[in-house]
A = this chain, B = another copy of it.
């Protein structure tokens, strides 16, 4: 059985491995968990001792097969609880992250499977992130960043990168949601902003920062 802290480290390492690929560095983990590099080193040693990460001094870490399994389980729990909070308790999608961060550590296999059933086996959370199934399989999304989208092609939003309230509230205010459809009309070299047309006919100019935090697929 892992402590909440161990689970948090494992989840962070796993996520960073996916987004930054291969050997995750100590400082990157520290930044992610708002802690210090020295604390990370200590914890990494502990996780390596338990065969949950591969670790060589000064070379960063990767998760082992067992480590991945544990991390995926935490991710599954986090995302299922997010669906519960939004679908059943009517929370807004920008309010659920902190609470799910706590709920993901509740220990009970039976609970999580019953929750999954109750929610009717959802495959994505309110932010569009895929929910791993009970075996740990996760839908591989061939989504691209909105910043890399081409002009005059119809896309739909599938996922947002950042779960911060600030981003989610911005999207809400501009009627942008998971499954919203849009076409890129213009790309501006000056500040890398782009103008999109929504399927209600409205035009919207989005900053580069927004575009690098929103994933889309061709509709």
Q: Which residues of A contact B (CB under 8 A)?
A: 85, 88-91, 95, 98-99, 102-103, 106-108, 110-111, 114-115, 118
Contacts and interface: CB of A to CB of B under 8 A. Distances in A.
Contacts of A111: 85, 89, 99
A119 to B, nearest CB: 10
A39 B111 CA distance: 32
Q: Which secondary structure characterizes the binding site on chain A?
A: helix
Contacts of A99: 106, 108, 111
Nearest to A85: B111
12 contacts: A89-B115, A90-B114, A91-B110, A95-B110, A99-B106, A99-B108, A99-B111, A102-B106, A102-B107, A102-B108, A103-B103, A103-B106
A91 B118 CA distance: 12
Contacts of A85: 111
B114 A89 contact: yes
B89 A118 contact: yes
Contact of A118 (B88, B103, B110, B115): B88
Nearest to A107: B102
A108 to B, nearest CB: 5
Given A85-B111, A95-B110, A102-B108, 8 more contacts: A89-B111, A89-B118, A91-B110, A91-B114, A99-B108, A99-B111, A102-B106, A103-B106
Nearest to A106: B102
A115 B106 CA distance: 17
Contacts of A102: 106-108
A91 to B, nearest CB: 7
10 interchain residue pairs of minimum CB distance = A89-B114, A102-B106, A99-B108, A99-B111, A89-B118, A88-B118, A103-B106, A102-B107, A89-B115, A90-B114
A106 B108 CA distance: 15
A91 B115 CA distance: 11
Contacts of A91: 110, 114
B89 A98 contact: no
A155 to B, nearest CB: 34
